[in-house]
Amino acid sequence: MSQDIWNFIFIGITFGIYIGIALWAKAGSTKEYYTAGGGVSALANGMATGADWMSAATFISMAGIVAASGYDASRFLMGWTGGFVLLTTLMVPYLRKFGKATVPDFIGDRFYSKTARLVAVFCAIFICMTYIMGQMRGVGIVFSRLFNIEIATGVIIGGSIVFFYAGLGGMKGITYTQVAQYCVMVFAYTIPVIFISLALTGNVIPQMGLIGDFTKGGEAVPLLQKMNDLSVELGVTKYTDGSLSTTDMFCITAALMAGTAGLPHVIVRFFTVKSVKAVRKSACWTLFFIAIIYLTAPALGLFARTNLVDELNNKSYTEAPSWFKNWEDQGMIAWVDKNNDGIIQYGKGKAFAGKPIMDGEKRGEQGQRIVKNEVTSDPNEVYYDRDIIVLANPEMAGLPKWLIALVMAGCVAAALSTAAGLLLVLSTSISHDLMKKIIKPDITDKQEMAYARMASFGALVIASYFGINPPSSFVAKTVAFAFGLAASSFFPTLLMGIFSKRVNKEGAIVGMICGISFTFAYIVYFQFIAEHQNYLFGISPEGIGFVGMFINFIVTIVISSFTPAPPQEVQDMVEHIRIPSGAGEASH
């Protein structure tokens, strides 16, 4: 069978499962829509949270940045996993005991203020919109390769599917759909890497292949040493060396950690289990499920980089593998013959100024697509979008067509699962926290759910636009901005709201506004206005959320010190949610 038929079979089966689950788990009340009725088991929630966590940035882009950056990519591995530990130890058990449905709900009650709730709603919308545009971009990339269509069309198709099961089933539908999506993802991510590890190193365990010998073609040299030697030969930094400054590396990692602990769409997952005790069990299951993929990503990235260089460098265009020309059709890979020798040279520097825009009808003398963008003076002749590494890797390694189709299905599941979780937070922030709690307190459950579904549609339209036209073509980078916004807004506010009885509404409101405003302004300025010029203390936009977090902490503490303390009942509430004796059934 052809690759297209295999793709349709795998995607069709998985989509059928997702839609079937959505119909079966249709939410019939606001409690089911927001928290799946609060009756999800720890194991199922752990798997669903793992799927929510395995976003397009993790599944598609993390291995891409590992392949391209080597050591520098460890900031994602350390930041995202370390942040999850912060989340499960410092946040979710206490928030679950508090017994609310959303993060703005907690902030509104803890800081006894509709204004605080409103600020939290806007922060949640802001963070989720930034995050979801990266997911929609990932959806578009997968569908463009899968069906040979434009990325924009792929975004629209993926968005329609997400709206169907997220808007219809709410948290109940999303939870059980994500259980199925995790199963698809884990097989799609690990099985191809096992095959590739065997082909390159002879090790069936990818992690052992990462530190083992490269044996393909009769060689027997440590794989990391081979990649370092190849990197030096190509004129780029050694794979095991880093190019980021220590300060920027630290700040990005810290921003990712704090941002993880403040992500509203991950926090609300733990509101679906039966008790605080179940929250802790669910967190352990989640760490186990995400570790399976996170411990595999470094091996996948290194294997992909090795295959990329081995398959392309110093080969003529006529000898280029079929996968190169397939991705070239989507504008995700390009080659320009700068010295007119007909040989592909991959090395240091950029081939083009920005992403290449190709004319598929016109070809150069060697057969390559005509590229409309300006060609740089760097010796490198190859452009590739790092978001395709996971998708293209099985093709690079010559794996069976069914495995390639499985990877496609896994990538779709990753992007759809996180997009659904984000969409739920967006819709509940508008319907519950904005409409029900502030604007129209007298609306019925039925009206509230109608507002939630309308908000889902509106949010998805906006997210799809930015998925087609993202501020950064690299999905993981776009998502990193969302983590910075979460680190500078929710993380300090939630942490102080749980552990400090003295922090009041004035401090929390101004702190959130200052933290997220500074972070957003910095990102916009250096991403769109003065790109890569004179970063403050050498900190890139990806890491500036760490500075924004401290601004939030400082402003909140200072203002709280000079304004009245919270009412006694609020202080008693804070004391109550920290008492370990409540680790049985959650208090409401």
Sorted by where each starts, the structural domains of the chain and their CATH numbers stand as: 10-304+399-582 (1.20.1730.10)
DSSP assignment letter at 274 = S
pLDDT digits (tens, 9 = 90+) for 416-461: 777 787 888 888 888 888 888 889 888 888 888 888 888 888 888 8
pLDDT of residue 588: 45
Contacts of 124 (CB under 8 A, 6+ apart): 102, 103, 104, 264, 425, 426, 429, 433, 490
Amino acid code (one letter) for 450:
A
Q: What is the mean pLDDT of residues 171-183?
A: 84
pLDDT digits (tens, 9 = 90+) for 230-271: 777 776 777 777 778 889 999 999 999 999 898 888 888 888
Cross-strand partners of 519: none
> How far is it, in rounded angstroms, from Cα 43 to Cα 56?
23
> How far is it, in rounded angstroms, from Cα 205 to Cα 224?
16
**Placement of tokens 């499920």 in the chain:** 289
Highest mean predicted confidence (pLDDT) among 37-41, 117-121, 161-165, 190-194: 117-121
pLDDT of residue 237: 73
pLDDT digits (tens, 9 = 90+) for 134-161: 777 777 777 776 677 787 888 888 788 7
Burial 326-341 (b: 16+ CB within 10 A, else e): bbbebbbbbbbbeeee
**Placement of tokens 């300025």 in the chain:** 525
566 in Cβ contact with 112 (< 8 Å): yes
Q: Is the pLDDT of residue 585 over 70?
A: no
Name the average pLDDT for the chain: 82
Q: What is the CB neighbour count within 10 angstroms for residue 585?
A: 12
Q: Could you tell me which of 44, 50, 105, 35 has the C-alpha nearest to residue 272?
A: 35
pLDDT of residue 506: 96
Q: How many CA atoms lie within 13 A of 564 on its CB side?
A: 6
pLDDT of residue 351: 84
Q: What is the mean pLDDT of residues 401-420?
A: 81
Q: Which region among 299-303, 465-469, 554-558 has the lowest average model confidence (pLDDT)?
A: 465-469
Tell me how far the alpha carbon of residue 280 is from its chain's centroid: 23
Paired sense of beta strands 343-344 and 315-316, if any:
antiparallel
pLDDT of residue 587: 44
Could you tell me the pLDDT band of residue 533, with boundaries at 50, 70 and 90?
low
DSSP assignment letter at 221 = E
Highest mean predicted confidence (pLDDT) among 36-50, 87-101, 239-253, 488-502: 488-502
209 in Cβ contact with 203 (< 8 Å): yes
Look at the alpha carbons of 190, 195, 199, 201 in this order and tell me if their dihedral is positive or negative: positive
Q: What is the mean pLDDT of residues 579-585?
A: 51
> How far is it, in rounded angstroms, from Cα 437 to Cα 440?
7
Please state at what angle helix 42-53 crosses helix 151-201, rounded to 10 degrees. Answer: 100
DSSP letter for each residue of 280-310:
HHHHHHHHHHHHHHHTTHHHHHHHHHHHHHH
pLDDT of residue 480: 67
pLDDT of residue 175: 85
Residue 85, Cβ density class (10 Å: 0-12 exposed, 13-18 middle, ≥19 buried)? middle
> How far is it, in rounded angstroms, from Cα 331 to Cα 358?
6
> How far is it, in rounded angstroms, from Cα 138 to Cα 130?
13
Q: Could you tell me which of 547, 471, 409, 556 has the C-alpha nearest to residue 10?
A: 409
Q: Is the pLDDT of residue 584 over 50?
A: no
What is each CA distance from 535 to 471, 473, 532, in whole angstroms?
18, 21, 7
Look at the alpha carbons of 370, 372, 373, 377 in this order and tell me if their dihedral is positive or negative: positive
Could you tell me the pLDDT band of residue 582, with boundaries at 50, 70 and 90?
very low
pLDDT of residue 532: 63
55 in Cβ contact with 136 (< 8 Å): no
What is each CA distance from 562 to 65, 399, 489, 568, in whole angstroms?
46, 65, 21, 17
> How far is it, in rounded angstroms, from Cα 405 to Cα 394?
10
Phi first, then psi: what are they for 288, rounded to 5°? -65, -45
Cross-strand partners of 213: 222
Q: What is the CB neighbour count within 10 angstroms for residue 146?
A: 22
Higher pLDDT, 366 or 456: 456
Q: What is the mean pLDDT of residues 317-343?
A: 81
Q: Is the pLDDT of residue 586 over 70?
A: no
* 586's tokens: 């959650």
DSSP letter for each residue of 66-132:
HHHHGGGGHHHHHHHHHHHHHIIIIIHHHHHHHT-SSHHHHHHHHTT-HHHHHHHHHHHHHHHHHHH
Could you tell me the pLDDT band of residue 57, with boundaries at 50, 70 and 90?
low
Could you tell me the pLDDT band of residue 328, with boundaries at 50, 70 and 90?
confident
> How far is it, in rounded angstroms, from Cα 62 to Cα 304?
12
> How far is it, in rounded angstroms, from Cα 130 to Cα 512?
17
Can you give 148-195 as a three-state secondary structure string?
Answer: CCCHHHHHHHHHHHHHHHHHHHHHHHHHHHHHHHHHHHHHHHHHHHHH
What is the percent of the chain where pLDDT is above 70? 93
Q: Could you tell me which of 417, 423, 416 has the C-alpha nearest to residue 33?
A: 423
470 in Cβ contact with 134 (< 8 Å): yes
Q: Is the pLDDT of residue 70 over 60?
A: yes
Is-above-0.85 flag for pTM? no
- H helical segments located in 349-388: none
pLDDT digits (tens, 9 = 90+) for 465-515: 877 776 554 454 566 678 888 999 999 999 999 999 999 999 999 999 999
* 484's tokens: 């910075």
> How far is it, in rounded angstroms, from Cα 158 to Cα 344?
35
Residue 116, Cβ density class (10 Å: 0-12 exposed, 13-18 middle, ≥19 buried)? buried
> How far is it, in rounded angstroms, from Cα 379 to Cα 190?
35
**DSSP-based three-state secondary structure for 240:** coil
DSSP assignment letter at 496 = H
> How far is it, in rounded angstroms, from Cα 416 to Cα 19?
12
> How far is it, in rounded angstroms, from Cα 490 to Cα 485?
8
